[in-house]
Structure 1
């Protein structure tokens, strides 16, 4: 223990497969991909991402004079999909997905 501490050595768990990646091939593929992308207009590339809004979630802290008992957390949420093109000139209206008490078939 003392030797490890003096020399900054620690036990680390080996995780993932990053050590087996061929970095030369990655660099080559990245350059080819960038050349291919250069042929396209950035206006046509769309990016979408989703996020969630937990609209009934109570705060997890409060101001009090003593400990406060917690309650079951309400996980009611709305999922929102946001979409825009690479240049930012096209921004679609957000797509909001919620949950209905009585789902109806199409």
Structure 2
């Protein structure tokens, strides 16, 4: 169950990162509220997952999901550049996440 909470927390991290971008420096009310609500939920689920998962594993996977997810949202939603080097960097993060999961089994 801890892994499920951790993955959901990582996805929520992507949501709050995107809504933070949409808040324009917290000058827009609705995206600002979405940011804080999803940030809180993400932190709560991360902390629940840390009850059984090692700190290093949980935090690394959480930030990795957030990083790769935000990268994907940036490309597919915001039209950011998908240069070969950025794609390779994201792939390396995913490989690291898989290795982290395998090492904690």
Instruction: Give the shorter-chain TM-score range.
Output: under 0.3
Greater helix content: 2
Larger radius of gyration: 1
Greater strand content: 1
Greater length-normalized contact order (CA 8 Å, ≥ 6 residues apart): 2
